[in-house]
Amino acid sequence: MRTVVFDLDGTLADTSGDLIAAANACFIGMGHHAPLDPVADALTAFAGGRAMLRLGFGRLGKGWTAADVDAQYPLLLRSYGEAISVHTSLYPGAVRAVEALRSRGFATAICTNKPEGLAIALCDRLGISHLFGALLGADSLPVRKPDPEHYFETVRRVGGAADRSVLIGDTVTDRDTARAAGVPIVLVGFGPEGQGVARLKPDALLDHFDDLDGVIERILPG
C-alpha cells in the first residue's frame, strides 16, 4: 500500500498565530510586553516552543538561561492547549487533497513533533482526524523526528511499508527525517519560508495542495 505521511504544523495547517500567542502569554505573565510578532516570527514558531521562548527572552534585553526557558515551556503548552485553534487554519486545498489520496487507496498518516495530545486536539478541532489512519507526536515514542524510527513507526501503524511511502513537510527537520529513512521528501512552498525551502533540495516542491496528486505520482508511481 502506498503511504503518504504528512507533517502537521506548517504543512497541513498554519498554526503560527496560536503558537506565537502562547509564547507571548508567557512573557505577559512574567510582567513583560509581548516580544514576538505573529507574522514576522512565524518561521520561529515552527521551530518549536523553546525556540520561540529563546527568541522572546533575547529581545527583552535581560539575562536569561536555559532554566528560564524550561520553566516557561509547560506554561506555553498549557496556554496553547487552551486556545489551540483561534488563529489556525488549514492550507487551501489540504482536505480535498488528502481525501483524493484516500479515495485512490493511499494510506495517510501524520508524523509531527507537536506533543501527541495537542496534535490530536488540533486535528479534532479542524475536523480532519478521520482523514488519517495514524498520528504520532513528539512524545509518542522515545524518539522523534529527525530520528527515522518516528517515521517508520508512523508508516507501520497505518499498515504501510517505508519503501512505498513519502513524507510531506516544510522544514529541514522533515528533510533530514526523510533522508535518514531513505524515503522521498516533498516540501511545501506555501509555508512561512515560501520558496526558500528549495535550498533544502527536496525531491519535489509542492506549490499548492491542488498539485499534490501529480507530485505523488511522479515520485511514488503505482
What percentage of the chain carries pLDDT values higher than 70?
100
Cell of 82: 487552551
Q: How far apart are CA 190 and CA 97, in angstroms?
A: 15
Is it the case that residue 47 has pLDDT exceeding 90? no
Cell of 175: 528533510
Residues 123, 12 contacting (CB under 8 angstroms)? no
3-14+89-219 CATH fold: Rossmann fold (3.40.50)
Closest among 11, 56, 63, 60 to 38, alpha carbons compared? 56
Closest among 36, 182, 4 to 101, alpha carbons compared? 4
pLDDT value at residue 222: 81
pLDDT value at residue 156: 98
**Looking at the chain, how many residues does it have?**
222
* Dihedral pair phi/psi, residue 193, rounded to 5°: -85, -10
Is it the case that residue 62 has pLDDT exceeding 90? no
Which residues make beta-bridge pairs with 14?
89
The mean pLDDT of 178-206, rounded to a whole number, is 95
Q: In which order are the strands placed within the sheet that holds 107-111?
A: 134-136, 107-111, 3-6, 165-169, 185-188, 204-206
Burial 138-153 (b: 16+ CB within 10 A, else e): bebeeebbbbbebbbb
> Known catalytic residues?
7
Q: What is the mean pLDDT of the chain?
A: 96
Q: Which long-range contacts (CB under 8 A, 24 or more apart) does 145-149 make?
A: 145/111, 145/112, 145/113, 145/173, 145/174, 145/176, 145/177, 146/173, 146/174, 146/176, 146/177, 146/180, 147/177, 147/180, 148/177, 148/180, 148/181, 148/182
Concatenated DSSP letters for 172-203? Answer: HHHHHHHHHHT--EEEESSSTTGGGGGGG--S
Convert the pLDDT of each residue in 76-130 to its tens digit: 999 999 999 999 999 999 999 999 999 999 999 999 999 999 999 999 999 999 9
Between 136 and 64, name the one with better pLDDT.
Answer: 136
